Amino acid sequence: MPSPTPRLLTLLSIMQTGGTWPGATLVERLSISHRTLRRDVDHLRQLGYCVNTVMGPDGGYRLDAGSELPPLLFDDEQIVALAAALQVGAGSASGLIDASARARATIRQVLPSRLRHRIDAATASAIPRSGDAPSPAVDPHVLAAVGSATHNTEVLRFDYSNTPDAPARRVEPHGIVTQAGRWYLVAWDLDRHAWRLFRIDRMRPRLATRLAFTPRAIPGGDAATFVGARLKGSERADVWPCIGTVELAVPARDIAPFLGDGTVEDLAAGRCRLTAGSWSWIALAASIGRFDADITSAQPPELAQAFATLADRFSRASHCA
């Protein structure tokens, strides 16, 4: 196997940007002859890269995916970014802890010392949000099988762990979304004739069906919006089903760090207007109560009624001591 040269690595770096590169352009960029270019292309092929010759007036060379993994070429910044991403994947919020940690260790082992030092210096610990349960482990083989069926628009059959005695599910997979360490599949259920959300860590795919389907329009426009809406208890867009506005007797800066996905604006005399949402009016009223501030206005009426319900409930609880 020939030793790579700076010129060969430059050629590979150019071709990795994609597209077809005319021979004349490569010759000019590298300041070499056509004969040297042909020899360098042959060297890349010997290294395992699938470099195809494109015929015609606009032809040249194109780097395509091959059947085996060739040596990869990354610059320093790409390696540091890749290692950092794998470190995040090895954190408690990924569901791919073991695979990500092993991949990062494999990359680190073959790096020159200057890059190992940069990666080690960027090491950080991930802290889960308060109250978050540990992320469920996701089998990379399961994720790959689900991803393949989704990419190829093929019907997917699988067993689901929360319904162990049920027959295999048959779905048309439309998109994979990850949120807070959990992986979800958005799919059209062929037996229930409805859109469904499946936890991939609970799926056990059966043999590939090879049955193609025509993609449908996902409610909300895309898989991420659909998942966001369902996780908020909404059947429409990625918004909370209950949204209200209150005026609080505190300045906006006192509550801004704790808003979540709410919004706040300053009013006169040290007051602010808060707009927030939740899955129910009671839940929204309770979450606003955590700011420990007098409420001078509440809209819509459903939110005001929720405050009244909570006030009555808390009053009765105060006599239980």
The CA radius of gyration of the chain, in Å to the nearest whole number, is 28
Per-residue pLDDT tens over the stretch 214-238: 999 999 889 999 998 888 887 667 7
Distance CA 21, CA 32 (A): 15
Q: For residue 95, what pLDDT band results from cuts at 50, 70 and 90?
A: low
In order, the DSSP letters of 269-281 are TT-EEEEEEESSH
Q: For residue 58, what pLDDT band results from cuts at 50, 70 and 90?
A: low
Sequence-separated (6 or more) residues with CB below 8 Å from residue 234: 240, 241
Q: Is the pLDDT of residue 273 over 90?
A: yes
- Burial class from Cβ neighbours inside 10 Å (0-12, 13-18, 19+) for residue 269 reads exposed
- Please give the backbone phi and psi of residue 203, each rounded to the nearest 5 degrees, phi first: -95, 145
Q: pTM for the full model?
A: 0.62
The residues that bridge with 173 in the sheet, in sequence order, are: 187
Q: Are 222 and 238 in contact (CB under 8 A)?
A: no
Q: Is the pLDDT of residue 1 over 60?
A: no
